[in-house]
Amino acid sequence: MSKSLNTTFEILGSSRNEASLSVLLAALDSAQVEVFEGAIKTLVSRRSRAGHFAVVSRWHQLSEPQRDLVRQGRGKMSGGLRNALLAEDTQYFTDACEIIEEFGEFDLVATLVTLSENRNSMHSQSATEMVSRLVKQLSEMVHGKRESQDRRDPNAIRKFVMESLEHSVERFREHQREELIEAFVVLGGRSCELLRTIIEDPHHACYMTVVNTLTTSESSGVIDLLLSFLDSELPSLTAIKVISRRTDKAFLSRLLELADGKLSSQKKRNLSRIRNFAWLQTEGLHIVELEEQDQARSVALLSASGIDQEQKLALWEILLRSGKPAARLAVCESLDEMQGDHTNQLILTALEDKTPQVQAAATLQLRDRNLPGSMSLLLKLIDSPHDEVREAAGQSLGEFTFENFLSRFDTLHDDTRQSTGTLVCKVDHEVVAKLRAELESTSRKNRMRAIEMAEAMAIVSEVSDELVQRLEDEDHLVRAAAADALQFCPTAEVQEALRFALNDRSSAVQNAARNSLNAIEKLNSSNFHEPTHPVEGQS
Amino acid sequence: MISSLFENLCLFAQVNRWRSMGSRFRGSRGRGDISDLLPYLIGMVVIGIGVAIVVAIAKRKDFSKPCDDPNKLFRQLCIAHHLDFGSRRLLLKLATALDLAQPALVFVTPEAFEPNHLPPQLYAEQARLAELSQRLF
């Protein structure tokens, strides 16, 4: 556009002379593109309902760059748009609707609701559809999806739109437009007093429409509204029923998301009122066909629900056999709160799971259930190749600690000492450190017992340096016991120490050292002939 | 009521006596005459006309007030484009000849300046109009 023409439109745009509007409207009919676009741009910027209407009525003729000029008037053209909606002209109406939807001109919902209610209007049906689309758009804005450059407050707009819709609900008997009631529910939310009243009153004219919307709408607003009832102290029975009946994936996905993290006690209380979920019986939506995360979530959710225990266990069994690892783990964890033969059977099934975490979760429950053979199972599991399982078995065999073994050691039979000692070594990971402390005890009796315990637990080689020091113990019995125990540790250092002990002042120590050296020599010679023979020989 | 009317007539009858009483205190120049006020009146009328002219000029030049005046808009656009008196007259002639709804429309109607659209009475101004068209568009 030339500088002069630009000056003309600047004057026409800023002038407070009403005559300029007629000039601009006339310019809209110009064949010159520059003049036409200048007129569009100037009319959009002016506060003039007639001017805006003229622009709106040409929307369908505009090219995309020309529409960009109109877009600059977003939020300022309500008057012109309203005129176009009410103009009883299909082209104007269509143009206005297109702009309203694109601009998100929610101010016009009230006009559209009025048009929708008036079934004699030629645009009644289109206005209804437009209200639904605008309400859906607003609902998405309220529940998160919002353009970054849009600085409008969605909640303030929502409040304004809700006023129109509430009036429409009150007039439902006259207009019978169910779509308007749906729009009201979509945008309503739990704070809407009127919506709560309708949900609680089955005789209300809108009750069936509201329930139908709650049951079928996939709008975020409706789903949020339904799920919010689970946080209510006195939730509507209707809402609880609808929650149990819905089977659509959009709702189910949101419902299962509730199980992320810990369920609040209020949610648990309300979930326990649900005796059945329709989606559990829906074809094509079987629990094992859910995503891994959703399977696990469904376990947490169903555990809190009020569905029959046998039904739950049947589901858990299916999941344990065919579910994904996260679900099998969730099942095992949820079984912790359940008792009975069926539950015990499921725990035993879980022990054979191919996922170590599932095995470990089942292992942790073995002891408390007092299952026959659980001890022998734990003794097997303590040697599991998986760290998690060994850890869980160790936790279940918590009483097999070094301290307990120490306190009962003197009362145990030799065979029991050996079997228990081996178990203690597997369960208590600090055995070596504790035994070293015991070997340094000031009490001769304790030191003697510690040497015996080292032999019983077959960990002589791990404390050999400590035993070598005991060869210089002040007590000859301790020295002799240490020399005797060291026969199971055929290292060069130990042999050197034993040779030195041959010169001990006590003949008992000398004999023990000699015997040990002989035993080591024998062992070495047999190893020379059979190099694969185990070095640790006492067990 | 008749008596009160009679009393008033008696008072009017005595007016001449009061005049003669006052005549002793007033000179011949102190006599009131309407012609004495005439210069003041003329002065005031001139001042009033002057003020009205100033106000009218100010109003004519003031484009900030809301109004609905096509001629004023034409003037505003002419001023914005720094058009001289001759050019303004020519544009007005063009608007009139083309029967435009208001003269300001010539600023958004480039076709009006095209030689084949010119009315016969403006053929002679063809060159100046072409120059104006160049200037305005």
DSSP secondary structure string, B83-130? --HHHHHHHHHHHHHTT-SSGGGGGG-GGGGSGGGS-GGGGGGHHHHH
Which chain B residue has the Cα nearest residue A24?
B108
B137 close contact with A: CB closer than 8 A = yes
Q: What CA–CA distance (Å, rounded) separates A520 from A537?
A: 10
pLDDT score of A14 = 92
A22 close contact with B: CB closer than 8 A = yes
Mean pLDDT of all residues in A436-447: 91
Q: What is the DSSP letter of A276?
A: -
B22 in any annotated domain:
no
B77 close contact with A: CB closer than 8 A = yes
pLDDT tens profile A505-534: 999 999 999 999 999 888 877 765 554 444
Q: Is the pLDDT of residue A249 over 50?
A: yes
For chain B, which ranges sit under pLDDT 50? Answer: 1-2, 5-6, 9-10
A39 close contact with B: CB closer than 8 A = yes
Q: Is the pLDDT of residue A367 over 60?
A: yes
B92 in the same domain as B123: yes
**How many structural domains compose chain B?**
2
Nearest chain B Cα distance for residue A2, angstroms: 6
**Among partner residues B65, B102, B137, which is closest to A2 by beta-carbon distance?**
B137
Using the beta-carbon criterion (under 8 Å), do A16 and B73 form an inter-chain contact?
no
Q: What CA–CA distance (Å, rounded) separates A531 from A524?
A: 9
**Which domains, ranges and CATH numbers included, belong to chain A?**
247-314 (no CATH), 339-397 (1.25.10), 402-529 (1.25.10.10)
Which one, of A241, A307, A320, lies nearest residue A280 by Cα?
A307
A25 close contact with B: CB closer than 8 A = no
Strand partners, B67: A17
Name the region of A370 (left: φ>0; alpha: ψ -120 to 50; beta: rest): left
Claim: this prediction has a pTM higher than 0.90 = no
pLDDT tens profile A100-124: 999 999 999 999 999 999 999 999 9
pLDDT tens profile B33-73: 778 888 899 999 999 999 999 998 888 888 888 889 999 99
Nearest chain A Cα distance for residue B105, angstroms: 6
Burial class (CB in 10 A: 0-12, 13-18, 19+), B80: middle
B122 in any annotated domain:
yes
pLDDT tens profile A458-492: 898 899 999 999 999 999 999 999 999 998 888 88
Q: What token pair was written down for A215?
A: 């049951």
B95 in any annotated domain:
yes
B84 in the same domain as B73: yes
pLDDT score of A24 = 96
- Average confidence score pLDDT of chain A: 89
Q: What token pair was written down for A146?
A: 């919002």
Nearest chain A Cα distance for residue B51, angstroms: 25
Using the beta-carbon criterion (under 8 Å), do A16 and B66 form an inter-chain contact?
yes
B109 close contact with A: CB closer than 8 A = yes
Nearest chain B Cα distance for residue A70, angstroms: 20
pLDDT tens profile A373-413: 888 888 888 888 898 898 888 888 888 889 999 999 999 99
pLDDT score of B21 = 53
Which one, of A220, A76, A58, lies nearest residue A135 by Cα?
A220
Nearest chain A Cα distance for residue B31, angstroms: 57
pLDDT tens profile A492-502: 899 999 999 99
Tabulate helix, strand, coil % of chain B (nearest 5).
75, 0, 25
Which one, of A532, A531, A490, A487, lies nearest residue A513 by Cα?
A487
pLDDT tens profile A268-291: 999 999 999 998 887 656 788 888
B109 in the same domain as B85: yes
Q: What token pair was written down for A418?
A: 């050996």
Helices (H), A440-538: 444-456, 464-470, 476-485, 492-501, 507-529
B87 in the same domain as B112: yes
Using the beta-carbon criterion (under 8 Å), do B136 and A30 form an inter-chain contact?
no
Q: What CA–CA distance (Å, rounded) separates A349 from A313?
A: 13
pLDDT score of A6 = 93
* ipTM entry: 0.70
- Domain of residue B51 covers 38-65
A191, amino acid identity: S
Which chain B residue has the Cα nearest residue A30?
B109
